[in-house]
Structure 1
Amino acid sequence: MKLFHYHWWTDKVEEMEAWYQGCGFETRQRIGRANGEMREFNPPLEWDEFRQENVQFRIIEMVQGQMNITFGQGKRDRFDHIGFLVDEEEHDEVIKNAAILGWRVDEGERRIFISTPWRFRVELQRRKEAVKAEASPSLARLELNIDRPGRLSALAELLGAEAEDKGETCLISTGDWEIQLSRKQEYGLESLEVRHPAPFTGIDPVGVSIASIT
């Protein structure tokens, strides 16, 4: 099971794409509504070629190494979900765990979403082509702020991972990645640590702090 993905809704889609391109990410696709119909605005198209159409983007997908980042048009910044690349055995185990927890499962043709009690969702992705073959960068650690009640270690039970639960914080981990959930007044993704050979720190347009580790 690989932590590889996260998604935002934001009114800063163009700024997000430009920022992540500056970090070496490649834009894989842009899909949005213009003049009442859904269309693709994929590269090699540039923003100046469709900006005047006032496209409401459903998704812009960016990839680099083992990371896949998506965002879509929203009225404000709102974190939506994290994603895991899983094999068939892992997929079946997580679905079984979701049923035990009583969490909602939405099953689609391409992917599955599981709703947690804390507003964010968990995506299960089985398509290996969702990530590139390059080993880096990859997601090593993710910190999420939670503003609703609920036993934080339940996420570890869903994923079959280890949990160090201290009440107000819970560290969920495997040998490959860590997720820290913290109870705070404001909900959202706070920070990331990314395995990357080059040193890097920055804050993206929606306020997520990103730092590289070796």
Structure 2
Amino acid sequence: MLFHYHLWTPHVEETEKFYANLGFQVTQRIGKKDGEFESFDPPLDWDDFRGQSIRFRIIEMKRGATNISFGYGKKVIFDHIGFLVSEEEKVNVLERAEQIGLTTQSNERRTFIHTPYGFRIELQQHFDAVQSRSENRVLQFSIDSKRKGIEEVLRRLFGRQVSEINVSESNHTMIIGVKLMSDANFRTVDPNGIQIILSNT
């Protein structure tokens, strides 16, 4: 199940506020202060640490079956997308990744597959990464890519056509749109230029 995306952005506070207004809840904030990483998790909010020099490594937000994360970067960069998988699915995907010749990297929490398309694919087995496995799911991602072939690589990795990801050619690699399940129906654009579509269909 497609559930997640991660960005680097200079618009950290603005991005958090944007998604909070869409019903996402902050579950984690980790930032570097005075050379050391510290947690600034809720109930702390931005007014509690605004005057401090903090470079946020990750802010994680959840809404139903959707998880987004972002950290500070000098410019907006799309880092990875994530799929929730079972142990069997993970083993199968990693076997196919090896057959294709893609590099993988694992730790106890998650696994990354490095692609030649300018972003990584996360395999996540821990279902506490989301609040729900059915509500407010990611329905579709739209991605711009400098290289052809993403759809075929995804099909080979997951053993099916990954129809929830649409790819178009561009001179850069970036998520350009995300369609989310919602009771509401409207479109908006996040601080990083990503079109967010909330839809009940």
TM-score by length of 2: 0.96
- Other-structure match for 2:179: 193
Judged with a 3 Å threshold, the aligned counterparts in structure 2 of structure 1 residues 27 and 133 are, in CA distance, closer, same or farther, namely same
CA distance in 2, matches of 1:119, 1:203: 22
- Other-structure match for 2:107: 108
The answer to whether the Cα contact below 8 Å between 1:117 and 1:150 also exists between their aligned partners in 2 is no
Displacement of 1:152 in angstroms is 4.0
Displacement of 1:73 in angstroms is 0.7
Judged with a 3 Å threshold, the aligned counterparts in structure 2 of structure 1 residues 212 and 151 are, in CA distance, closer, same or farther, namely closer
Displacement of 1:149 in angstroms is 4.9
Segments of 5+ residues of structure 1 without an aligned counterpart are: 163-171
The answer to whether the Cα contact below 8 Å between 1:66 and 1:135 also exists between their aligned partners in 2 is yes
The two structures, once aligned, show a CA RMSD in angstroms of 1.2
Query: Secondary structure of 2:38's partner?
Result: strand
CA distance in 1, matches of 2:2, 2:175: 14
The yes-or-no answer on 1:156 pairing with 2:155 is yes
- Other-structure match for 1:75: 74
Query: Secondary structure of 2:89's partner?
Result: helix
Regions of 4+ moved over 6 Å? none
- Other-structure match for 1:209: 195
Higher alpha-carbon deviation: 86-95 or 181-190: 181-190
Query: Secondary structure of 1:94's partner?
Result: helix
- Percent of residue pairs identical: 42
The answer to whether the Cα contact below 8 Å between 2:150 and 2:167 also exists between their aligned partners in 1 is no
- Deviation by residue 1:149-202 (Cα, 9 ceiling, x = unmatched): 55641121112222xxxxxxxxx32xxxx1012211122001111111211211
Segments of 5+ residues of structure 2 without an aligned counterpart are: none
CA distance in 2, matches of 1:153, 1:212: 27
CA distance in 2, matches of 1:212, 1:50: 32
CA distance in 1, matches of 2:94, 2:72: 29
CA distance in 2, matches of 1:30, 1:81: 18
Which letter does structure 1 place at the counterpart of 2:194? V
The answer to whether the Cα contact below 8 Å between 1:35 and 1:53 also exists between their aligned partners in 2 is no
Query: Secondary structure of 1:132's partner?
Result: coil
Displacement of 1:31 in angstroms is 0.2
The answer to whether the Cα contact below 8 Å between 1:10 and 1:77 also exists between their aligned partners in 2 is yes
Displacement of 1:213 in angstroms is 2.1
TM-score by length of 1: 0.90
CA distance in 1, matches of 2:50, 2:199: 36
CA distance in 2, matches of 1:149, 1:4: 23
Which letter does structure 2 place at the counterpart of 1:191? G
Which letter does structure 1 place at the counterpart of 2:156? E
